[in-house]
Amino acid sequence: MRQHKLLSSSASNNRRPRILYLVCAVALFSLLLFAIQSSFFSGSLISDRNREQISVLSNFQSSVQQCVAKKGLGLTAQIIDHCKLILKYPEGTNSTWYNAQFKHFEPLEYKFDVCESILLWEQYRNMTTILTREYLDVRPDGWVDYAPQRIAQLGAKKCYNKTLCEENLNILLPAKPPFHPRQFRTCAVVGNSGDLLKTEFGEEIDSHDAVFRDNEAPVNEKYAKYVGLKRDFRLVVRGAARNMVPILNGSDDEILIIKSLTHREINAIIKTIPNPVYLFQGIVLRRGAKGTGMKSIELALSMCDIVDIYGFTVDPGYTEWWVSLSGFWFGLDNMDFMTRYFSAPRKGHNPLQGRAYYQLLECLGLIRIHSPMRSMRKQDWSDVPSREMISQAHAAAKQLKLSQSNQAGDLGQFGSCKVWGDVDPKKMGPVSGSPDMSDVRKKSNYNKWEVMPFKSLRNEAQDHYIQMQGVSLYKMDGNRLDDLVCVRHPLKSDV
Ligand SMILES: *[C@@H]1O[C@H](CO)[C@@H](O)[C@H](O)[C@H]1NC(C)=O
Ligand SMILES: *[C@@H]1O[C@H](CO)[C@@H](O)[C@H](O)[C@H]1NC(C)=O
Ligand SMILES: *[C@@H]1O[C@H](CO)[C@@H](O)[C@H](O)[C@H]1NC(C)=O
Ligand SMILES: *[C@@H]1O[C@H](CO)[C@@H](O)[C@H](O)[C@H]1NC(C)=O
């Protein structure tokens, strides 16, 4: 009996932990179940939200696809997913550009990421693309590390002090942005393709609110019917800056924007001309001169609603054009025109890829392409996705990117601002220039943009300024989307 009791007690002693284990296991199991369920639930919530964005982007993709089919002169778009697509040239397209380095002809298919493209290029519409004093003040080590990179003679060496850099840059440095997003409604960007001679776009080009030209492109009566006469902006590389005086030929208001670096020689020339001269902000330093056309478009987008491009080699059969056109050019005795307006496809350039990319930009609503083959048909922009659709696609791409990188919520229009700075309204010098400014510059019109009263800006530019709460956005380096330098200005009726 005792033994039994002992046994039974030991059995009950054994049973208690077993029940405890069971209870524990059940609790653990339900906890696990709950965890799985709730993670599944929140996961499905996230993917629900993403599903909405993906559907917006997929609709957008098919609009882009239709646009390419209508406007692409044979190009077709094959959709891979809600972001990626492949632009394809028709079977049998003669790829005459041989890449000697990789020993192959350029391919007929190019993959693009529409989400990335729209995030990048829509942002340009809100950017400041002129180097300013406020930018150098706000950017960490702006004067000591960045400024010397924009002055050729200093090379990679640092400015030992700010004064040294100021001496070199004063003449091209406005205190604050001289141009504003949305400043112009329509702009024409005129490239230097020989195709310009096949058409007579002169009048059409001149009808724009602002015209952007490149390097040494001549503007005069002789070529007026091809390229027009209006001159507002000229994006120049430093080599071209040397020949500016004859090229400008007394065109005092034309604004020169130096793409890369300045140096003593350029500064000496600037002192002799009354034209406004600035440095482009937003180049990728030390990467050669590739893609001047893209930079002109970027510059134009930073101040124009509608950007029409002319004189870019965008039609099929670029090599054939050159061969068949050279007779035409020589016949016109246009050696000057030819050297200035025609640049043969450069080494390392991929003409078919470039052409496809321009087509994509058109179908993303960023540019409107004008070319000989397009001029033969009715130009109609109803094939391009609407502004509203583009904004929605942009918002969807942004949210998708945020949720993929696990960033918290929507950080609003300043989410990409990495560095912030304020402008002291009392210290704000209105115009560029230095105390030893030459008389020709003192009397010039170069400050007209820099002291332009807020009220005389286009309504759209004023609205934008107010919506942006007086903040100017600048690129830090290259094409990174998420490291902007942002400068606050007083939100009073004075830009
Ligand atoms: C492609 O172009 C090259 C050079 O112009 C020419 O030699 C070749 O015959 C062309 N091929 C076709 C299929 O047209
Ligand atoms: C650009 O600015 C407008 C305000 O004018 C704003 O609504 C829009 O979200 C901004 N877009 C980007 C890409 O920053
Ligand atoms: C900065 O450099 C300039 C030119 O070399 C020199 O004249 C000036 O004294 C320097 N200023 C300071 C504060 O070191
Ligand atoms: C320079 O401008 C003048 C008149 O403004 C014009 O007659 C002349 O042809 C121009 N020169 C060149 C090289 O374009």
Q: Region 76-96: what's the mean pLDDT? A: 87
The pLDDT of residue 149 is 86
Which of 96-100, 128-132, 437-441 comes out lowest in average pLDDT? Answer: 96-100
Q: Which ligand has the shortest distance to the CA of 154?
A: 3
The pLDDT of residue 171 is 87
Instruction: Please give the share of the chain, as a percent, with pLDDT higher than 70.
Output: 75
- pLDDT band at 231; cut points 50, 70, 90: very high
Which of 87-96, 99-108, 176-185 comes out lowest in average pLDDT? Answer: 99-108
End-to-end CA distance of the chain: 102
Q: Which ligand has the shortest distance to the CA of 105?
A: 1
Q: For residue range 79-88, list pLDDT tens digits in order.
A: 999 999 999 9
The pLDDT of residue 139 is 93
Closest CA to 395 of 135, 14, 118: 118
H or E element, residue 375 = helix 372-375
Q: Region 249-275: what's the mean pLDDT? A: 88
Q: Region 96-125: what's the mean pLDDT? A: 83
The pLDDT of residue 300 is 97
Q: Which amino acid is located at 216 in the chain?
A: E
Instruction: Please give the share of the chain, as a percent, with pLDDT higher than 90.
Output: 41
Nearest CA to ligand 4 atom 1: 249
CA of 95 to the centre of ligand 1 (A): 8
CB 139 within 8 A of CB 485: yes
The pLDDT of residue 448 is 82
The pLDDT of residue 440 is 78
The pLDDT of residue 336 is 39
Q: For residue range 429-488, list pLDDT tens digits in order.
A: 666 766 667 777 777 777 788 888 899 999 999 999 999 999 999 998 766 777 899 999
3-class DSSP state for residue 465?
Answer: helix
- pLDDT band at 345; cut points 50, 70, 90: very low
CATH tag for 116-326+335-488 (out of 3.90.1480.20, 2.60.40.10, 3.30.750.24, 3.30.70.330): 3.90.1480.20
**CB 58 less than 6 A from any atom of ligand 1:** no
Q: Best-predicted range by mean pLDDT among 150-154, 176-180, 212-216, 475-479?
A: 176-180
- pLDDT band at 100; cut points 50, 70, 90: low
pLDDT at position 212 over 90: yes
Residue scoring higher pLDDT (76 or 9): 76
Q: For residue range 191-210, list pLDDT tens digits in order.
A: 888 888 889 999 999 999 99
pTM: 0.83
In order of 55, 272, 365, the CA distances from 62 in angstroms are 11, 54, 14
The pLDDT of residue 359 is 94
**CB 243 less than 6 A from any atom of ligand 4:** no
Alpha-carbon gap, residue 151 to 156, rounded angstroms: 9
Alpha-carbon gap, residue 375 to 195, rounded angstroms: 11
Name residue, tokens 């993670």. 39
CA of 241 to the centre of ligand 3 (A): 29
CB 446 within 8 A of CB 274: yes
Q: Which atom of ligand 1 is nearest to the CA of 95?
A: 1
CA of 82 to the centre of ligand 2 (A): 22
Q: Region 67-83: what's the mean pLDDT? A: 94
How much is the mean pLDDT over the chain? 80
